Chains A and B, each alone.
Chain A
Amino acid sequence: MTAYKPYIIVWAALLILTVVTWQVSYIDLGVYNVVAALVIASVKASLVALFFMHLRKENALVWAFALFPLGMLAIIIFGTLADTLFR
């Protein structure tokens, strides 16, 4: 049973964060709605990656495989925006 406990705790945290982000969306915070939603989503994503996907226990190579594509994603987003935002 003790093997299951960490997962249940993370699951509970994810549920709480889901409720939070859902309810916060009903409050008008202007641009901070976007910030709040993305920050909460990123926290949830990190919990899933670190604990459910066992990234916490993996070596540097696996971390590189996990993080590098995010860097590439940033490049394509910013490169495209460099065009579309300034036309």
Chain B
Amino acid sequence: MTASLNDRGYLTEKGFRSWAYTLDHKRIGVMYMFTTLVFFLVGGVFGLLIRLELLKPGAWLFTPQVYNELFTMHGSMMIFLFIIPGIPSGFGNFFIPMLVGARDVAFPRLNLISFWLFIAGTLVVLGSLVSPMDTGWTFYTPYSARTGAAVTTLSFGIFLVGMSSILTGLNFIVTIHKLRAPGMTWHRMPLFIWGMYATSIIQVLATPVVGITFLLLAMERIFGIGFFDPAKGGDPLLFQHFFWFYSHPVVYVMILPAMGIISEVIPVFTRKPIFGYRAIAYSSLAIAFAGFLVWGHHMFVSGMSNIAAIIFSFLTFSVAIPTGIKVFNWISTMYKGSITFEPPMMYALTFIFLFIVGGLTGPFLGALATDEHLHDTYFVVAHFHYTMMGGTVMGLFAGIHYWFPKMTGRMLVERTARVAWLLMFIGFNITFFNMFILGFRGMPRRYATYPAQFQGQHIISTVGSWILAVGIVIMFYNFVRCMYKGEPAPPNPWGGKTLEWTTASPPPTENFEEIPVVTDWPYSYGKKGE
């Protein structure tokens, strides 16, 4: 069957109003994706500026005050406006209903409200740039309660973004419970759905705590309440407990959807059923639960009690177990498989490799004795960039290359994707592996100036960041060009077995002509003739 571009499915209707007032989860997902990817690029520019400043030991390009604002905005934008909403609100919205065989999410109007709440939040966050935050994305008190920057505005913006995140998570939980197609038992669900389910639970339970935290910070600035202010009898560590009670589980919000994508991509490009389906499925829930128990490991050097430090350190090691289970199962899936290296698979394999590096450097930080030396150094910066960028962002890119044909009805150019990938892989590792050593040698994070002995390594990382940036630009060029000029895509270019591949590319507005009846799990590869 030759693919044609005549039928644009859910993309047919045009005009601003058809997008702004849409109740179609696919359109809402697309709008989220555009917005979050724009913030990825903006946040990335801030990152490049940071690296530029660090080329020389003194504050040569920016004042230390401006530098503080740069890394604060880089972190805040990347975390709140890109990586937390990224996969869940983008791919989650587009593909959860399709993968479970539903026509839409459980509460489509709430979904639209979530999107506009998100946009409102991003506008407020951008508004705070008139007096940019300089506290670091962690907003620790007492400084954040006293600095002249637009803390209250930024807090309010993040509060709105958080509300959007909560309502989206709530929508997904009910959708997954109630809207699965007939015959789709929990154990016939795609693993992306298990990952999104665990993610949504975290979003619903953790986000309100950061909501109240930002509310209290705003109240401290406006009404002088003193929960976090030592001068008023308050406790700055209380802020940190609340902040990290959310911000630690949120890193699992970032990684679980990406892991879900990897679990979908690997079987397709290995032509083998996923190994250890139940282990992977349950490990998502285990990671979500364990993630709530370990927030104190961000506070080891803060003045926390020894007992709490020991308990949190011990619990931190437990999170590695379900994570390791996933990695072993993906690798086992590939054993004796028929592996092909299309771009989605390349990014998926990159995810596994880089995430392992990031993950293995976690225990260094979870162990009390080593964390004493490594806390707030570049070791931490390297660790979270390996997990968040080497992990989540590579998983996102894998997802984009995998699902681009379905969403747009067009294919990406493979050669361009490979060139971009190579530059990104090289640039990323130069930039960030170098930072493990830099941190180990004692370079603190968030410093605009540094002793001359660290300059060589800083230059290396900055050059690496340029290579990485070029790779990203080439990849985005591929996306934008192929959206308009790509080859028409067939319904199932990769031979996948999840339900979205049974529809046209792009899918019709109602997703399925008839709601499918599911009789098997979606990983039955490698049987006769497949």
Residues of A within 8 A of B (CB): 61, 68-69, 72, 75-76, 79-80, 82-87
Cβ-closest chain A residue relative to B173: A65
Residues of B within 8 Å of A72, CB to CB, are 205, 292
Residues of B within 8 Å of A61, CB to CB, are 177
Main secondary structure of the interface of A (DSSP, over half): helix
Which B212-239 residues have C-beta < 8 A from chain A? 235, 237-238
Contacts A76-B245, A79-B241; A86 near B296 (Cβ below 8 A): no
Extra A-B contacts (6), CB below 8 Å, given A72-B205, A76-B241, A84-B238: A75-B292, A82-B296, A82-B307, A83-B241, A84-B305, A85-B305
Give how many A-B residue pairs fall within 8 Å (CB-CB): 43
In contact, A69 and B205 (Cβ under 8 angstroms)? yes
In the assembly, what is the distance between CA of A75 and CA of B241, in Å?
A: 12
Contacts A76-B245, A79-B245; A86 near B293 (Cβ below 8 A): no
Residues of A within 8 Å of B209, CB to CB, are 76
In the assembly, what is the distance between CA of A84 and CA of B245, in Å?
A: 15
**B306 at the A interface (CB under 8 A):** yes
CB distance from B297 to the nearest CB of A (A): 11
Main secondary structure of the interface of B (DSSP, over half): helix
In contact, A86 and B238 (Cβ under 8 angstroms)? no
CB distance from B371 to the nearest CB of A (A): 16
Residues of A within 8 Å of B238, CB to CB, are 80, 84
CB distance from B417 to the nearest CB of A (A): 42
Residues of B within 8 Å of A83, CB to CB, are 237, 241, 296, 299, 304-305, 308
Contacts A75-B293, A79-B241; A87 near B304 (Cβ below 8 A): yes
In contact, A79 and B235 (Cβ under 8 angstroms)? no
In the assembly, what is the distance between CA of A11 and CA of B491, in Å?
A: 60
Residues of A within 8 Å of B241, CB to CB, are 76, 79-80, 83
In contact, A79 and B308 (Cβ under 8 angstroms)? yes
Residues of B within 8 Å of A84, CB to CB, are 235, 237-238, 305
**B303 at the A interface (CB under 8 A):** yes
The 0/1 profile, CB within 8 Å of A marked 1, for residues 366-387 of chain B is 0000000000000000000000
The 4 closest A-B pairs by CB, nearest first: A86-B305, A83-B308, A82-B308, A86-B307
- 5 A-B pairs with CB atoms under 8 Å apart are A79-B293, A80-B238, A80-B241, A82-B308, A86-B306
Cβ-closest chain B residue relative to A86: B305
Residue in B205, B235, B308 whose CB lies within 8 Å of A86: B308
CB distance from B5 to the nearest CB of A (A): 44
In the assembly, what is the distance between CA of A61 and CA of B173, in Å?
A: 12
Cβ-closest chain B residue relative to A84: B235
Residues of A within 8 Å of B293, CB to CB, are 75, 79
